[in-house]
Amino acid sequence: MIIQESRIKTISGARAITRHVLHGPKNEAIRIMAGSEWLLQDAMQEAERENLTYGLRHIAFNPAEPMTDDQLAEFAGRICHEFHADPEHMTLVIHQKDGSTHAHLILPEWQQNHILDSRFSWIRLEKLARLEEIRLGHALVAGRHDSAIAKALRKEGKHQEAGLIDALVPEQPADKSRAAYRSQSHRIAERQGLDLPKLKKLIVSLWSQSDGLKSFRAALAEHRLTMREGDRKETRAGAHIIETSDGTLIGSFTRLTKVRMVEFRTLLAEEQQQTAKKPETDIKGTRLPFRRTTENFYDEFPIPKASDAQPSFPKRPVIKRPNMKEWQRQLWLQRMADVDTPSTKLLPPESPVHIISIDELRFYQKIKKDIADQQAILDQQPPEASWKPLDKEKTLAKWRRQLVPYQKQLRSNYDRYAVAKQEWRDSEKSRWQRMTGKAQKLEKIADTLFYEFLEVLRFVVEALLHIVGLRQEPPNPIRAMLNENDQTALERFKETHDDEFSAMADSQKLEPWLIARFENLLLARQQRIKQWNEDHKAKKDHARQEIKRLSALLIITSAPPQPQVTSNGHFPSPPAPSLSFGSP
């Protein structure tokens, strides 16, 4: 869902917004769900009497997936509740265009006794839009403030929704989504007869088909469009805008094409290098020197013939080999004799050469692979043994920092309950208040606040258990309405987790509780490591025995047999090894 907000100044009046919302000629159908033209004009007059700068607030929301009129009206009511606006004075109009519907919500800035809230309005509107998409099961639309929205939802206890919105946040801040043009620019272009969405698609298409800024400028010129440097050179150096031939602004190049400013500056630098004038070539330096000769020049200086020339080649140097010593010569002759030894002759006993068959090689490889598998079992370690040891000071500081907002929330609710309980006790002392029933009303209020305090206590204790690792899931959100069964369950929860409640209520008790939890965490890790070693001890002992057995088998089978010569002067072929792996 795309949601936009604009504030209409009192000085401009309500005529333009009325003409656009109530009498838009490009809409297939216009359905007025609440409000009227008279209501908008009256809101402007009230803003003028109160000397307000803005008189109306226009909020347009366009869902990505179809929504019924009732669903759009309910969402408009949620917007009114968020900004503390009176739904009785809102104007809600639904437009139908090209088969889809979108809504326009107009709220008066003066709400009878206060001004409409405008603090962080864009972020709050996007938050409402994301929650509505989650509630209806629509696809989530990424916005510019998704990280801030997720942080706000976590403070409200909506961790599941915050996790879904966190997935929309891009890795780089420059990749955040942004609008190519404002709604005011869209309205101005419509009055001038231009279709900004159509022009944006055209510009994006031309940029995708261009191989640089030079070809892109030529493609723009074919459609009577130009690109030039913006007027605000001091504040935004290098920014370029695209406009029509008559000077009507369409938008910024980087916003329309989604090109980063850093990449665009690089393209500008390349374009300037290409258009720079090259130095003229000095043709004087290319002339070859020549010399004039006389007619009988070659007669005066005759060229010698090939037969007359007698080239003299240098003599080839004689390479003399150094004299070989007698012991070197004998060693060389012995090595040559060893090379000429026939194959039927036995090799010297000190020779390390051992020729094996392919079956023996496969047998050795299988033994080595089995040894490697058993060694892998021996090398296994407990999963937590390789973890970095916990730093006590850093861990405790992190826990304290995370628990601060929950402590404030618990203290605030307890103070409200304490004040209501004291008022009820004071009313019980007054006979008149007991007779008029005021004491009974204050007692009900105190009971309601007590159970609200228990609900907040349940939320805070679950958050404490989640932070210190005693609870895997985050705390369940705070419930607004409680029945009798919930109240009974909350009382049992308070009795069960009285130690945690005491730690959160008293800062002096919290520190010893956190230290004890940290020590229990270390002890539990050591016990898990010890238990893992005990569970895998038998398996490692068996692997150690298998390595010893296989290594002995490998040594026995790898020993070269003594060669024996048969009667015909040849070696016998070795027997094929057995591949059984039974116990030796």
Q: CA angle 550-553-557, nearest 5°?
A: 140
Distance CA 522, CA 545 (A): 34
Distance CA 550, CA 582 (A): 10
Residue 460: predicted pLDDT: 86
Look up the CATH architecture of domain 2-141.
2-Layer Sandwich (3.30)
3-class SS of residue 97: strand
Which among 303-307, 485-489, 562-566 has the top mean pLDDT? 485-489
Q: Report the predicted TM-score, pTM, of the whole model to 2 decimal places.
A: 0.39
With cut-offs at 50, 70 and 90, classify the pLDDT of residue 576.
Answer: very low
The structural domains of the chain, with segments of one domain joined by +, span 2-141, 183-273, 392-532
Q: Distance of CA 217 to CAs 222, 376, 400, 552, Å?
A: 9, 65, 59, 80
Distance CA 78, CA 125 (A): 10
Backbone φ/ψ region at 35: left (φ over 0), alpha (ψ -120 to 50), beta:
left
Which among 188-192, 205-209, 423-427, 495-499 has the top mean pLDDT? 423-427
User: What kind and span of H or E run contains 102?
Assistant: strand 100-108
What is the tens place of the pLDDT at every residue in 122-165? 888 888 888 888 888 888 887 777 888 888 888 888 887 887 88
Distance CA 55, CA 119 (A): 17
- Where do we find the tokens 């004299």? 323
What is the tens place of the pLDDT at every residue in 64-93? 888 888 889 999 998 998 888 888 888 999
pLDDT of residue 228 exceeding 50: yes
Tokens of 200: 């944006």
pLDDT of residue 360 exceeding 60: yes
pLDDT of residue 512 exceeding 60: yes
Distance CA 2, CA 11 (A): 28
Q: Which of 42-56, 278-292, 372-386, 522-536 has the lowest average pLDDT?
A: 278-292
Distance CA 372, CA 28 (A): 76
User: What count of other Cβ atoms lies within 10 Å of the Cβ of residue 105?
Assistant: 27
What is residue 14's DSSP assignment? Answer: S
Task: Count Cβ atoms within 10 A of the Cβ of residue 210 and give its class: 0-12 exposed, 13-18 middle, 19 or more buried.
Answer: middle
Instruction: Read off the pLDDT of each residue in 169-196 and give the average, rounded to a whole number.
Output: 56
Q: What is the CA radius of gyration of the chain?
A: 45
Query: Does residue 96 contact residue 27 with C-beta atoms inside 8 Å?
Result: yes
Crossing angle for the helix pair 438-467 and 392-429, nearest 10 degrees?
Answer: 170
